[in-house]
């Protein structure tokens, strides 16, 4: 087992990464028991994940009074109705301030559990047991918690750090192929924004990544968590450098939005968005020509989309990214790369250069 620390003063916590941590209840118990203050625990999960990994978690907690809150599977249920049902559940089961919530699942379960933990009795402990690659390398780390509002994703939430994150790379074997690839988009992003050598290693090992080689995955998850932990430690509540984690996301969110939520997985939209961001970086002469193509080859090789089936309207895309509001608040910012391994936020650029990049991208 390897451990990465998220250094946040009194809120510092470990990310434990090791094979079989979610199938060996004794190992898991040794990690969870020291974190639990009282006698009550609530496991939050969904049916899909509970069927696969629930029993190990219940066995690990056999000395506690365990209640299991099983939510419906899917982004559509990361909402205020499920939040309300979770609060009713904890009240009816008479959980008190010493309870510990255990999030067993992907980012949907983790974000909802975290927000419940942040607000139940003004904040209780929670632990993340992420089971998707996206959750292991991104959403379980850093303390962003949220539910969706009908008018916008993640619009209701707070920062609430977990007590620990426990990651078992072997659980990725059961993940559907699209979900697995979507997580790889965030992994590649870390190489692009923070570690060129890591990107080179990923490029060289795409076949092993596609085989879900568990030794390689352990290393890749660790490096991804280290990069995220370092950024979060510098800027916990995103007033500065944490925004770099959004490389490709401004374009990606617009694609998700225009295509209709649910068509793209988030990581798939981020994959296409990263190509757009790299091409924009080239257009601004920050990135050497040919690097966007290099990134595209890497993302293609791990089965991620890098182009659109049918072009979108440039004006709709600009509107969706907030360009139409730019004059009003002057706030439109993009994360660009000035060479793989580094990134920066820019808020001053010519609209023409952005339009040119989008037009050329949509023309293929």
User: What are the residue numbers of the active site?
Assistant: 122, 144, 186, 228, 238, 242, 246, 249, 253, 266
Which of 64/115 has CB closer to ligand GLY?
A: 115
Tell me the window of 74-82, 112-120, 238-246, 312-320 that interacts with ligand GLY (CB under 6 A). 238-246
Q: What is the DSSP string of 302-358?
A: TT---S-SSPPPHHHHHHHTTGGGHHHH----EEEESSTT-EEEE----HHHHHHHH
Of residues 13, 50, 86, 144, which one binds ligand GLY by CB under 6 A? 144
| Binding flag, residue 189, ligand GLY (CB under 6 A) | no
| Binding flag, residue 60, ligand GLY (CB under 6 A) | no
> Shortest distance, CB of residue 210 to ligand NAD, whole angstroms?
17
> Shortest distance, CB of residue 214 to ligand NAD, whole angstroms?
13
| Number of residues engaging ligand NAD in binding (CB under 6 A) | 28
Tell me the window of 134-142, 250-258, 323-331, 346-354 that interacts with ligand NAD (CB under 6 A). 134-142
The answer to whether 278 and 289 have CB atoms below 8 angstroms apart is: no
| Binding flag, residue 142, ligand NAD (CB under 6 A) | yes
CB 306: neighbour CB atoms within 10 A? 18
Q: What distance in Å separates the CA atoms of residue 110 and residue 363, rounded to the nearest whole number? A: 39
Strand stretches in 12-124, DSSP E: 13-17, 40-46, 65-71, 100-105
How is residue 24 written in tokens?
């060996």
Which of the listed partners (ligand NAD, ligand GLY, none) does 242 bind, with a CB threshold of 5 to 8 Å by partner kind? ligand GLY
| Binding flag, residue 167, ligand GLY (CB under 6 A) | no
| Binding flag, residue 245, ligand GLY (CB under 6 A) | yes
Which of the listed partners (ligand GLY, ligand NAD, none) does 128 bind, with a CB threshold of 5 to 8 Å by partner kind? none
Alpha helices for 205-265 (secondary structure H): 206-210, 214-234, 249-259
| Binding flag, residue 249, ligand NAD (CB under 6 A) | no
CB 91: neighbour CB atoms within 10 A? 11
**Helical axes 196-204 vs 214-234, angle rounded to 10°:** 160
Q: What distance in Å separates the CA atoms of residue 159 and residue 145, rounded to the nearest whole number? A: 6
130 φ/ψ sector (left φ>0, alpha ψ -120 to 50, else beta)? beta
| Binding flag, residue 73, ligand NAD (CB under 6 A) | yes
Which of the listed partners (ligand GLY, ligand NAD, none) does 31 bind, with a CB threshold of 5 to 8 Å by partner kind? none
Dihedral (CA of 331, 244, 101, 34) sign: negative
User: φ and ψ at 72, to 5 degrees?
Assistant: -70, 150
| Binding flag, residue 218, ligand NAD (CB under 6 A) | no
Of residues 7, 96, 121, 174, which one binds ligand NAD by CB under 6 A? 174
> Shortest distance, CB of residue 211 to ligand NAD, whole angstroms?
17
Q: What distance in Å separates the CA atoms of residue 271 and residue 276, rounded to the nearest whole number? A: 9
Tell me the window of 19-27, 138-146, 277-285, 318-326 that interacts with ligand GLY (CB under 6 A). 138-146
Per CB under 6 A, residues contacting ligand NAD are 46, 48-49, 52, 73, 75, 78, 105-109, 111, 131-132, 134-135, 138-139, 142, 144, 153-154, 171, 174-175, 179, 266
């Amino acid at each position: 087992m390897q451990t990465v620390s998220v250094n946040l003063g009194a809120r510092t916590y470990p990310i434990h990464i090791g094979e079989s941590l979610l199938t060996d209840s004794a190992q898991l118990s040794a990690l969870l028991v020291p974190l639990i203050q009282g006698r009550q625990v609530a496991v939050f999960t969904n049916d899909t994940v509970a069927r696969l990994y629930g029993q190990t978690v219940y066995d690990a907690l056999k000395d506690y009074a365990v209640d299991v809150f099983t939510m419906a599977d899917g982004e559509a249920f990361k909402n205020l109705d499920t939040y309300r049902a979770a609060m009713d559940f904890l009240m009816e089961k008479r959980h008190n301030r010493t309870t510990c919530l255990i999030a067993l699942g992907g980012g949907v379960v983790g974000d909802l559990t975290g927000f419940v933990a942040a607000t139940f009795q003004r904040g209780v402990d929670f632990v993340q047991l992420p089971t998707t690659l996206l959750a292991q390398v991104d959403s379980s780390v850093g303390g962003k918690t949220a539910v969706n509002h009908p008018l916008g994703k993640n619009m209701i939430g707070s920062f609430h750090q977990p007590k620990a994150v426990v990651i078992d790379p072997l659980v990725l074997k059961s993940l559907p192929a699209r979900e697995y690839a979507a997580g790889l988009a965030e992994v590649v992003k870390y190489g692009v924004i923070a570690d060129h050598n890591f990107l080179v290693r990923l490029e060289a090992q795409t076949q092993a990544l596609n085989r879900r080689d568990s030794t390689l995955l352990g290393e890749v998850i660790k490096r991804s968590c280290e990069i995220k932990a370092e950024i979060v430690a510098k800027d916990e509540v995103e007033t500065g450098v944490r925004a770099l984690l959004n490389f490709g996301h401004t374009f990606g969110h617009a694609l998700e939005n225009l295509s209709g939520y649910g068509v793209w997985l988030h990581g798939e939209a981020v994959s296409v968005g990263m190509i757009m961001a790299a091409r924009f970086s080239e257009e601004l002469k920050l990135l050497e020509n040919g690097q966007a193509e290099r990134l595209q080859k890497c993302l293609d090789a791990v089965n991620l989309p890098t182009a659109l089936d049918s072009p979108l309207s440039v004006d709709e895309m600009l509107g969706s990214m907030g360009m139409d509001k730019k004059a009003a608040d002057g706030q439109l910012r993009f994360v660009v790369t000035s060479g793989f391994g580094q990134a920066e936020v820019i808020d001053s650029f010519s609209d023409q250069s952005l339009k040119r990049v989008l037009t050329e991208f949509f023309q293929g």
